[in-house]
Amino acid sequence: MNILGIYGAIGWDGNKPTPEWTAERTGSKVKPVSRKGDYWVHGSGVTLIMDGELKNSMCEERFSRIKYEGNFPVSAIEKILDHNKLTKYDIDLVVYVGCPILDYHLLRQSGQIEKLIKEYFPKCKVEFSPHHVAHAGATFYTSGFEEANILTFDAAGDYEFQPDLRGPNPAGGYKVPHMKFYHGKDLTILELPHSNYCNSPPMATSFGSLYNMYSMMAYATKMKTPESEHFSPEVDAIHRETYPGKVMGLAVFGDYQKIDLPEWYDFERTKHVWNSDTEWEECFPQLYNTQNDYWMESTQYKKLNPDDLAAWTQHQFEKYLLLFLSHIPKEFKHDNLCLGGGCALNILANSKIIEQGIYKNVHVNTAPNDDGLHFGAALCKSAEYEHKITLPDDIGYLGTPYTDEDIEAALSDFSFIKFSSGNDFLELCQWVVEDLKENKVVAWFQGKSEFGPRALGNRSILVNPIFDNKDYLNSKVKYREYWRPYAPIVIEEETKHWFDLPVDKSPHMLFNSFVVEDKRKQIPSVVHEDGSARVQTVSKINNKKIYMLLQEFFKETGVPVLLNTSFNVGGEPIVESPADAVKTFAKSNIDILIMHNYYCCK
């Protein structure tokens, strides 16, 4: 059975962040009631599973070159079908993931979405996946756990019908859930019904929404941008994916205790106990909103130190997430936890869940944000119909390969050296190590592209961490804010000598670590202000080529670490093809370009 998981706008423009407000008038007062026209979607992409075996997963932004692309992934679909020698008539099932706009339900209920999908795939069956179910599948089915709790949390999911458990309307209505709690066992994922309490009043505002809101305030004040004068829905839609990651890096420069603002929530531990005879009985701890709707429109935040506000935002996020998880009732708590949703990219919080002993084991998928929705939906359907899921050795690399002909065509205007394959790749690594020792910036393009927002050594820019290159990279290569840290990539078996990781290994950069104190001066480029680092560990199994490079660098320098950042410049997606790589190389201050066995220098 050939299954495609798909996410992305179909029937509307998913890149259109132009909301129009409607209002109702009562006497002389006008009250905003709803926002129409905000059709913005992000993370569109496609995943292919054939007879239970995961083949490829790719995001459309890598082809359209529009960061956070939200439209139907036409190019990614074409690339994956072509690579696997399939046609549009060979797809048996398309599972489409719900989008966080109300019009999605109208289009689905009218049959328009199914009709449009069948225009692409005439013989397929069309099914639909809820947003958070897809997040849950993406994290649980890649965890290796036989059994685990699953928490999915983000700014918003898609509209679904929910009972209003604590509000004035018990019948409920369509709402946008931002948090779900599931239990996974073998190939089955079951939502715990009382997880709907997380999305009912009084917790109507999510961890993700609050983090986005305060991140935007901190960032705009820090940069003194026009957005700091007025936060419009357009600005929010365009940038809401970028603020949290940037501000997480800024947080270590501030002191949260210097911010005097209301707590995000008041916490209450309910005394009710859930059992099978009590449907919808309340048992989850409750988080009561204390935030006022007018706060975003206030200008008071401009008086606050943005570094301190960033630190306070991170502190609030961690505080209430950990408080929530530490009060999960024992009746259904497991040692293992899988995290999904955009909030699971918060590596500081991920690490503290383990450090504080709330769960023994925590797993996060390589694309926990909306980039992974199509992936999770496809895995769920494979579990349902094929009763099996076969994954590759490392789910970090799910793109399609490129040929030597593709590379040579892209390098047609450049001189290059081609090394033979096999053992001679070692010679290429030795050349690159000599460049790194001379403090040159190396672009490294190998094999299949990464799946998710992190560069994991196949579409990376590599730099010698022994030199303090952060300012140069920020101002001359990546064109990004000075306070954002760079990640170290390290030989797995050497990790414990250099980093204090809360997990045994971190192949996908989803946990925070502290650099061993006596090693910090040796690798200044990858040490953040507080001595921390977002570590990627590499083994011979999960990425043989960059492992070889690291080994050669270690032999020459005594340091088993390189600085690893994504192969792109600010505002652009990570490069996908050889043509993308050459274009970025040509317009940037990158010194060396390596693509497979090809060596090119300026």
Matching fold, domains 2-142+373-385 and 404-601: no
pLDDT surpassing 90 at residue 260: no
Better pLDDT: 108 or 120: 120
Most confident of the following: 55-64, 263-272, 293-302: 55-64
Overall average pLDDT of the 364-381 stretch: 97
pLDDT band at 281 (very low <50, low <70, confident <90, very high): very low
Q: Is 65 exposed, middle or buried (0-12, 13-18, 19+ CB in 10 A)?
A: middle
Task: Indicate whether 51 pLDDT > 90.
Answer: yes
pLDDT in tens, 131-157: 999 999 999 999 999 999 999 998 877
Average pLDDT over residues 573-585: 97
Reported as a pLDDT band with limits 50, 70 and 90, residue 203 is low
Position 206 scores a pLDDT of 76
Given a cut of 60, is residue 576 above it in pLDDT? Answer: yes
Is domain 2-142+373-385 annotated with CATH 3.40.50.2000? no
User: Which H or E run contains 331?
Assistant: none
Matching residue, tokens 């939906």:
377
Question: What does the pLDDT average to over 573-579?
Answer: 97
As a whole number of angstroms, the distance between CA 522 and CA 530 comes to 16
pLDDT at 176 over 90: no
CA-nearest of 6, 106, 18 to 56 is: 6
What residues contact residue 218 under an 8 Å CB cut-off, 6+ apart? Answer: 247, 250, 301, 306, 307, 309, 310, 313
| Residue 352: predicted pLDDT | 97
Question: For residue 41, what are the contacts with CB-CB under 8 A and spacing of at least 6?
Answer: 7, 8, 9, 14, 15, 70, 71, 99, 100, 101
- 27: pLDDT confidence band, cut at 50, 70 and 90? very low
* Mean pLDDT, all residues of the chain: 86
Band of pLDDT at residue 99, cut at 50, 70 and 90: confident
135: left (phi over 0), alpha (psi -120 to 50) or beta: alpha
The single residue listed with the structure tokens 């509307």 is 12
Mean pLDDT of 174-180: 75
What Cα–Cα distance (Å) separates residue 591 from each residue in 202, 268, 444, 582?
54, 56, 11, 12
Question: Does pLDDT of 190 surpass 50?
Answer: yes
Model confidence at 550: pLDDT above 70: yes
**Does the pLDDT of residue 382 top 90, yes or no?**
yes
CATH code of the domain made up of 173-359: 3.30.420
CATH number of 404-601: 3.90.870.20
Give the CA distances from residue 602 to residues 253, 553, 576, in Å, rounded to whole numbers and listed in that order: 37, 22, 21
CA contacts within 13 A on the Cβ side of 275: 3
Per-residue model confidence (pLDDT) at position 198: 61
pLDDT of residue 144: 96
pLDDT tens digits for range 426-436 = 999 999 999 99
Residues 439-450 have a mean pLDDT of: 97
Phi/psi-derived region of residue 466, left when phi > 0, alpha when psi is between -120 and 50, beta in every other case: alpha
Q: For the chain, which residues make up each domain, given as ranges?
A: 2-142+373-385, 173-359, 404-601
Question: How far lies 237's CA from each of 19, 37, 234, 348, 370, in Å?
Answer: 9, 12, 5, 25, 15
Helices (H), 252-305: none
Are 154 and 240 a contacting pair, CB within 8 Å? Answer: no
Q: What is the pLDDT of residue 303?
A: 79
Question: Which of 167-181, 249-263, 407-421, 431-445: highest mean pLDDT?
Answer: 431-445
pLDDT of residue 200: 54
**Residue closest to 596 by CA, chosen among 446, 403, 424, 415:** 446
Spatial CB neighbours of 384, under 8 Å, sequence gap ≥ 6: none
In this prediction, residue 169 carries a pLDDT of: 52
Instruction: Please give the structure tokens belonging to residue 451.
Output: 């799946």
Residue 212 pLDDT > 90: no
Burial of 420 (0-12, 13-18, 19+ CB in 10 A): exposed
Mean pLDDT, rounded, for 273-280: 37
Least confident of 20-24, 276-280, 368-372, 552-556: 276-280
